[in-house]
Structure 1
Amino acid sequence: MNIIQIILKNIEEGWSTFKVAEKDLTNKTILITGGSEGIGLETAIQLAKMNAKIIIASRNKEKCADAVEAIKKASGNDKIEFRLLDLSSIQGVKDFAEDFKNDFSSIDILINNAGGNFANYSETNDGLEKTFHVNHLGPFILTNLLLPLLYKGNEPRIINLSSKAHAFHQLQLPEDLKVKKEDYDRMIAYSKSKLMNVLFTKELARKLENRNIKVVALHPGFVKTNIGQGDSNIFVWALTKLILLFVHGLLARNVDEGAKTTVFTAIDDSIVSGEYYDSCKIGEAQPQSYDTELAKKLWDLSAELAGISPEIPSK
């Protein structure tokens, strides 16, 4: 599927209103990264209305605190809290996971919602390109380290937010894990990181096939958010905003609709592990996402960069 086909398909689907049935989530514990704003916040509100215990994790303490109050007010559910998490730090994610395991005995649903699309090239303190680190490596480490808690969950699920943008570019390994400043393109970097999300999902599902854990990736829809902000070049920023205003007017969903596929995959009994979802149903992932050798290579290289075992925990 090329970019034009994707846009036309989303114009059609953008006019649809998705219906997601509610479910009693009492006694469920849900961790949502990036749950302080946008799709993550709306996801937290919708799941909180079903009486789940919600923990949002993000790097901004003030935004997290405000989000907790907003979720409580919108849902009438007081079982809401936040933890600080910096996905751009390998040690930071490891410390978060260790603290989380000390405070919780299990997790029922992990939603890897956080991500970024960065205008300019930058490296994290670990010397890695930021888009790759935040969108793939951070969630990869977090998920691996929290698997022991998910093993103890009730019908546990892992939900990875990807994007239709995963279909725009092909992945080359190991080259794409260490992009240089002179080669950086924000949309290529974003697209490839979203493809990594799908490959990670499928490889993790294979590794967990003998366990009662479902793992899915999804496209939340093109959502009306602040995409394009943060570009240091005012002309580029203005042009980006102008284009996006036109495109979003055609196909963007509101945040409530954008969260529905995440909520659907969190609660629906019919979901199939290892699949890529779009608009509350199994979607069309690009052909390279089915390359099992590429997925395994990505897994092993990611584990090496993270300094963790490529083998998933046994218990």
Structure 2
Amino acid sequence: MVLCQRMLICCLFVWLFITTKITKENVLKIKVRNGVEDDRSSTAERWHHRWRYGVYSKVQTSGYTQEGHLKSCTTSETVPEGVPDEPSWMKAAHSGGFLVLPWPGGGGSSDPAQGEESQGCLMLRSGALLGVTLICVAVLRKWIAGGVCRCSVRLDGRTVVITGANAGIGKETSRDLARRGARVVMACRDLTRAERAAEEIRRSTGNGNVVIRHLDLASTYSIRQFAKDFLDSEERLDILINNAGVMMCPKQLTEDNFETQLAVNHLGHFLLTNLLLPKLKSSSPSRVVNVSSIAHRGGRIDFDDLFFSRRPYGALESYRQSKLANILFSRELARRLSGSGVSSFSLHPGVIRTELGRHVEGWFPLVGLLLKLPSLLLMKTPWEGCQTSLYCAVTPGLEELSGCYFSDCAEKETAPEGQDDVVARKLWEVSTRLVGLKNTC
């Protein structure tokens, strides 16, 4: 980030230098009263000659007209003894007395050459501005893209579960981990789209060990069935990436009478993680990665009305609550699993161009249309958005940071509400009761 800022500052200095230089080139082209033109170099030599030998000029004017034009002007010079005279070419060029500096591109001159010259300077300035603008856009785009996971560790013989893996950053995460040789289990609600995504990943990575399983995080029955089938059929689980989520959807209740955003984003992953913990522990060292959001800032866990039964429903407020719950869950999970060999991390992937924001565009179609073009510049691609998930999943030596929060492939500090251990413990207890768990870690 610091490097990008420095590059941006350098680009601005280059732009200022180019435009200032071109402006000076235009201004220093002068026209003398007798029609003889002189360029910057001759003007500079003339004034150097006068300064060097102490020639002083006295200018007297007779005032200005109402239009602001000079009525008349006379000059007299004091030349010390022994001062050599100006070269003849310099006298010829300036025999008119005083110099008139035309304003660049001004409309007061009818000289075609000067107009062409001004137009050329304008084109040069425009070209310089365009060039520097493109450089600044490239630097800004690189800064928005964020960090990149540079770890090249292989995952041969390892098993990874990724929820919501058929699109967006879940799909790109699956692709990268498959390329590293892992057995990738794509846990998705829509099996048709999941199979298409899995086949594409198999072809692009050459890894045929990519499988799909049905999982609906809005249904505790589906979650339990997925966990049972997985525990019965899989030998190990090295990495669990809780990636799936919904954002700012209209108020709906799941089949378990949970508000949808809290159910899918938090309660579903809470239940899934706890049911898969025996396999995670037996495969240690293993990791749980919870995809949260910077939207947790300003969030609040309302234990008296988690599902907006009594208070007015706010889509953004509900989303913030669920993303804050992700961070508190990850923090409490790390505390409870300390010393077990299972690490837990939460992260903010960035603002990404995915279908996650479809409900926002549905509410404000005009805003969505207007933001299409800026989103190409100001939002991450799914590949860029999955980098922090990969970083938390594969980077060696992160075990000491279990329970921490990451963004742009670096540890970051959460909002104060994400550091409240009392609320985290209470949320764990409430979540355990809601999903019907009897035994937890």
Work out whether the TM-score is over 0.5. yes
In structure 2, the residue matched to 1:302 is: 431
- 1:165 is aligned with what amino acid? A
Q: Deviations over 1:185-234 (max 9, x none)?
A: 21111111000000000000000012111100011111111244246x96
Provide the C-alpha distance between the structure 2 equivalents of 1:242 and 1:281, rounded to a whole number of angstroms.
33
Provide the C-alpha distance between the structure 2 equivalents of 1:251 and 1:14, rounded to a whole number of angstroms.
7
Provide the C-alpha distance between the structure 2 equivalents of 1:157 and 1:17, rounded to a whole number of angstroms.
21
**Range moving further from structure 2, 237-246 or 140-149:** 237-246
Q: Deviations over 1:137-179 (max 9, x none)?
A: 000000000000001114200000001111132222232x221
In structure 1, the residue matched to 2:220 is: 90
In structure 1, the residue matched to 2:6 is: none
- SS of structure 2 residue aligned to 1:229: helix
Q: 1:283 to 1:310 in 2, by over 3 A?
A: farther
In structure 2, the residue matched to 1:210 is: 339
CA contact (8 A) 2:145 2:384 kept: no
In structure 1, the residue matched to 2:193 is: 63
CA contact (8 A) 1:218 1:261 kept: yes
- 1:268 partnered with 2:398: no
Q: 1:33 to 1:153 in 2, by over 3 A?
A: same
TM-aligned CA deviation for residue 270 of structure 1: 2.9
Coordinate RMSD, CA, aligned: 2.0
TM-aligned CA deviation for residue 267 of structure 1: 0.6
CA contact (8 A) 1:163 1:219 kept: yes
TM-aligned CA deviation for residue 12 of structure 1: 8.2
CA contact (8 A) 1:20 1:263 kept: no
**Range moving further from structure 2, 236-245 or 139-148:** 236-245
TM-aligned CA deviation for residue 183 of structure 1: 1.6
Q: Deviations over 1:2-23 (max 9, x none)?
A: xxxxxxxx98841545242221
CA contact (8 A) 1:229 1:237 kept: no
Provide the C-alpha distance between the structure 2 equivalents of 1:135 and 1:309, rounded to a whole number of angstroms.
21
Structure 2 counterparts to residues 95-110 of structure 1, below 5 A: 95-110=225-240
In structure 2, the residue matched to 1:255 is: 382
Structure 2 counterparts to residues 20-31 of structure 1, below 5 A: 20-31=150-161
In structure 1, the residue matched to 2:278 is: 148
Structure 2 counterparts to residues 118-157 of structure 1, below 5 A: 118-157=248-287
Q: 1:95 to 1:19 in 2, by over 3 A?
A: closer
CA contact (8 A) 2:147 2:409 kept: no
- 1:161 partnered with 2:288: no
CA contact (8 A) 2:147 2:387 kept: no
CA contact (8 A) 1:169 1:191 kept: yes
In structure 1, the residue matched to 2:178 is: 48
Provide the C-alpha distance between the structure 1 equivalents of 2:378 and 2:271, rounded to a whole number of angstroms.
34
- 1:89 is aligned with what amino acid? S
TM-aligned CA deviation for residue 53 of structure 1: 0.5
In structure 2, the residue matched to 1:311 is: 440
Provide the C-alpha distance between the structure 2 equivalents of 1:250 and 1:310, rounded to a whole number of angstroms.
47
In structure 2, the residue matched to 1:221 is: 350
Provide the C-alpha distance between the structure 2 equivalents of 1:160 and 1:294, rounded to a whole number of angstroms.
18
Provide the C-alpha distance between the structure 1 equivalents of 2:245 and 2:219, rounded to a whole number of angstroms.
14
TM-aligned CA deviation for residue 92 of structure 1: 1.5
Provide the C-alpha distance between the structure 1 equivalents of 2:225 and 2:159, rounded to a whole number of angstroms.
20
Q: 1:181 to 1:242 in 2, by over 3 A?
A: farther
Provide the C-alpha distance between the structure 2 equivalents of 1:114 and 1:306, rounded to a whole number of angstroms.
18
Q: 1:26 to 1:159 in 2, by over 3 A?
A: same
- 1:35 partnered with 2:159: no
Q: Deviations over 1:108-143 (max 9, x none)?
A: 000000001143111001111000000000000000
Q: 1:204 to 1:74 in 2, by over 3 A?
A: same
**Range moving further from structure 2, 152-161 or 80-89:** 152-161
Q: 1:67 to 1:293 in 2, by over 3 A?
A: same
CA contact (8 A) 2:348 2:406 kept: yes
User: Which residue of the other structure, out of 242, 247, 255, is the alignment partner of 1:117?
Assistant: 247
- 2:279 is aligned with what amino acid? L
- SS of structure 2 residue aligned to 1:45: helix
Q: 1:17 to 1:160 in 2, by over 3 A?
A: closer
CA contact (8 A) 1:88 1:124 kept: yes
5+ unaligned residues in a row in structure 2: which ranges? 1-139
Provide the C-alpha distance between the structure 2 equivalents of 1:162 and 1:254, rounded to a whole number of angstroms.
17
- 1:290 partnered with 2:419: yes
Q: Which has the higher contact order (CA 8 A, sep 6+)?
A: 1
Q: 1:15 to 1:303 in 2, by over 3 A?
A: closer
- SS of structure 2 residue aligned to 1:106: coil
TM-score (norm 2): 0.65
Q: Deviations over 1:251-303 (max 9, x none)?
A: 31111110111111111013210000100010121111111110011000000
5+ unaligned residues in a row in structure 1: which ranges? 1-9
- Percent of matched pairs sharing the same residue: 34
For these two proteins, the number of residue pairs brought into alignment is 300
- SS of structure 2 residue aligned to 1:111: strand
